[in-house]
Amino acid sequence: MGKPTVVSLFSGIGGIDLAFKQVGFEIIWANDIDKFACVTYLNNFADTDIVCADISQISAERIPKADVLVAGFPCQSFSLMGYQRGFKDPRGNLFFEIARVADAIKPKVIFLENVRNLIYHDNGRTFITIFNTLAELGYEVKYDVENACTHGNIPQERRRTFIVAFLNLEMLDRFSFPKEIELTKSIDSIINRSIKHNDIYYYSLDSKYYTLLNSRIIDKTGIYRIDDSGVAKKKYDISPTLKANMGTYHDRVPIIRDDYGIRKLTPYECLALQGFSDDFKFSGVPIEQAYKQCGNTVCVPVVKRIVDHIYKALKE
């Protein structure tokens, strides 16, 4: 028997796909509408056929059948950081594109990822709609909210809702979500403060934030952030949630003091805080897009632990 196969929707840079690939799945088809995300995806998944287009404009006949359908569908409609318009937002309605594809290719498993607030949005009615839609397609559902720091051994506060649906009830019974694990990694096991980076990452003396940052970041421990109210007073022992708006507002990138000054994390350090391997590369995309992609993707080790359990449920 060959490797189980995966079709990926709303693939982004491929964080979910990477976790499935690490476990032993083959990603045979992927899709995203963002041209910059597609560039990064192609640079790291050269063997996968990715279609860079609006999924609503792609006929189901063009999408191959696969064992698993995965989707980290747009979260802005459900996020606490957004307006929480849910299915009233066109991006929220993209869930029904997942349902359309699932109905056509009939995967054994559907894997979905979204923000923590998905299960609470609109007093739970949004999640019930998702649950009922999957049930109407013949799927049995399990879900969990997992955090990068408690389920992935990654020092980042990042809670996400994961939904796993099976066509086969016996497979569902064999599947369970991973339990919490000890966080053994620290910020300084991922970030090397002794390395000098490009000057673009450092706050200069004439930056409007420099004086306040310099007074608050008094040592080379922990990590800091700037939020809507300005420079946050709190020093974080683990990274605050990496967000897509790092690409729009450059001062929303987490901040540290290293041996050479006060600076933002680099895109590759942000990738490391999502559990990506060192060989994953950005190439041919602006730095703003690289930051956006880091905030939009998933914490790979969290997904990988779930995928390990999916693989066992499929194989047993």
pLDDT at 285 over 70: yes
The gap between the terminal CA atoms of the chain, to the nearest Å, is: 13
pLDDT of residue 39: 98
39 with 174, same domain: the answer is yes
61 with 202, same domain: the answer is no
pLDDT of residue 73: 87
Q: pLDDT of 288-309, one tens digit each?
A: 999 999 999 999 999 999 999 9
pLDDT of residue 87: 47
pLDDT at 256 over 90: yes
274 with 290, same domain: the answer is yes
How many folded domains does the chain comprise? 2
**Residue 86 — very low, low, confident or very high, per pLDDT cuts 50/70/90?**
very low
Give me the mean pLDDT over the 46-63 stretch: 96
16 with 46, same domain: the answer is yes
Neighbouring-strand partners of residue 7 = 29, 69
Give the helix ranges, DSSP H, for 139-195.
Answer: 148-151, 169-174, 187-190
Q: Which of 60, 90, 50, 15 is nearest to 277 (CA)?
A: 15
pLDDT of residue 117: 87
Give me the mean pLDDT over the 96-124 stretch: 93
249 with 130, same domain: the answer is no
Sole residue written with tokens 């909210």: 145
pLDDT of residue 84: 47
**Residue 92 — very low, low, confident or very high, per pLDDT cuts 50/70/90?**
low
pLDDT of residue 122: 83
> What span, in angstroms and rounded, lies between the C-alpha atoms of 191 and 177?
30
pLDDT of residue 229: 85
Q: What whole-number percentage of the chain has pLDDT above 70? A: 94
Sole residue written with tokens 């990477």: 18
User: Domain of 27?
Assistant: 5-181+298-315
pLDDT of residue 88: 57
Q: Which of 140, 76, 80 is nearest to 108 (CA)?
A: 140
pLDDT of residue 227: 87
Instruction: Report CA-CA distances (Å) from 219 to 175, 195, 214, 253.
Output: 45, 16, 10, 19
Q: pLDDT of 133-146, one tens digit each?
A: 999 999 999 999 99
172 with 73, same domain: the answer is yes
> What span, in angstroms and rounded, lies between the C-alpha atoms of 42 and 60?
22
Name the 3-class secondary structure at 283: coil
* Catalytic residue set: 75
Q: pLDDT of 201-227, one tens digit each?
A: 999 999 999 999 999 999 999 999 998
> What span, in angstroms and rounded, lies between the C-alpha atoms of 134 and 187?
39
Contact 28, 66 (CB under 8 A): yes
Name the 3-class secondary structure at 162: strand
- CA-CA-CA-CA torsion sign (309, 311, 313, 316): negative
pLDDT, mean over the chain? 93
DSSP assignment of 64-77: PP-SEEEE----TT
E strands, the chain, in order: 5-9, 26-32, 49-52, 68-71, 109-115, 140-147, 159-166, 226-227, 230-231, 255-258, 261-264
pLDDT of residue 93: 78
Angle at 307 between CA 105 and CA 242, to 5 degrees: 105
Give me the mean pLDDT over the 149-177 stretch: 97
> What span, in angstroms and rounded, lies between the C-alpha atoms of 224 and 232?
7
pLDDT of residue 262: 97
158 with 286, same domain: the answer is no
Q: pLDDT of 3-44, one tens digit each?
A: 999 999 999 999 999 999 999 999 999 999 999 999 999 999
Of 55-64, 120-129, 160-169, 178-187, the poorest mean pLDDT is in: 120-129
- Both tokens of 29, joined, read 């088809």
248 with 305, same domain: the answer is no
pLDDT at 89 over 80: no
Q: Which helix (H) or strand (E) holds 83?
A: none
Contact 162, 175 (CB under 8 A): no
110 with 197, same domain: the answer is no
306 with 238, same domain: the answer is no
147 with 76, same domain: the answer is yes
CATH at residue 260: 3.90.120
Largest interatomic CA distance in the chain:
63
**Residue 125 — very low, low, confident or very high, per pLDDT cuts 50/70/90?**
confident
Contact 217, 255 (CB under 8 A): yes
Sole residue written with tokens 């016996």: 170
Sole residue written with tokens 């839609």: 133
67 with 200, same domain: the answer is no
Q: For residue 67, what are the contacts with CB-CB under 8 A and spacing of at least 6?
A: 4, 5, 6, 25, 107, 108, 109, 314
**Residue 194 — very low, low, confident or very high, per pLDDT cuts 50/70/90?**
very high
Contact 302, 152 (CB under 8 A): yes
CATH at residue 78: 3.40.50.150
Sole residue written with tokens 């929303």: 252
